């Protein structure tokens, strides 16, 4: 039988906590991020229902960047933006200028080479792929 997670007074669901401290705007977005494996709790991929308590370490991937957070407190209700930052300690390392430049170049290349449609390539796209591969 599956183990049911219960919220204790010093605990809160991870999706609810991420929404309350304003990492995500909606709880649904936080739950989706958990489903997609973009949220880790103490080094393990976390489901949306996992309880969070003070002292836990959370890694969240938001907009191609990883944020490392340490839970300092479990808020009782929604917080203002200023107060939300007091609920966690962010330890995300700063990227070097070289790394920022590389990320920017990669994003530009992805945008430039983005396919118009999903699914199978068109005849023109197949010819272009063949030229790239040397066929």
Summarised one tens digit per residue, pLDDT across range 79-121 is 788 888 888 888 877 778 898 899 889 888 888 877 777 788 8
Question: What is the side-by-side strand order in the sheet with 57-62?
Answer: 44-45, 39-41, 57-62, 65-71, 88-90
**Token duo for residue 135:** 């066929």
Give yes or no for a contact between 21 and 13, defined as CB atoms under 8 angstroms apart: no
Query: Which domains are present in the chain?
Result: 1-93 (3.10.290.10), 95-135 (no CATH)
| pLDDT of 8 higher than 60 | no
E-strand spans in 20-64?
39-41, 44-45, 51-53, 57-62
Query: From CA 50, how far away is CA 48, in angstroms rounded?
Result: 6
CB atoms within 10 A of CB 75: 15
């Amino acid at each position: 039988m599956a183990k049911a997670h219960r919220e204790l007074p010093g605990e809160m669901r991870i999706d609810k906590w991420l929404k309350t401290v304003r990492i995500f705007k909606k709880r649904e977005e936080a739950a989706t991020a958990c489903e997609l494996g973009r949220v880790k709790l103490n080094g393990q991929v976390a489901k949306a229902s996992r309880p969070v308590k003070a002292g836990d370490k959370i890694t969240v991937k938001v907009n191609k960047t990883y944020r490392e957070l340490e839970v300092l407190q479990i808020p009782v209700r929604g917080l203002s933006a200023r107060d939300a930052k007091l609920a966690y300690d962010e330890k995300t390392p700063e990227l070097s200028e070289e790394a920022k430049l590389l990320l920017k170049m990669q994003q530009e290349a992805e945008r430039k080479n983005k396919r118009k449609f999903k699914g199978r390539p068109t005849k023109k796209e197949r010819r272009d792929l063949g030229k790239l591969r040397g066929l």
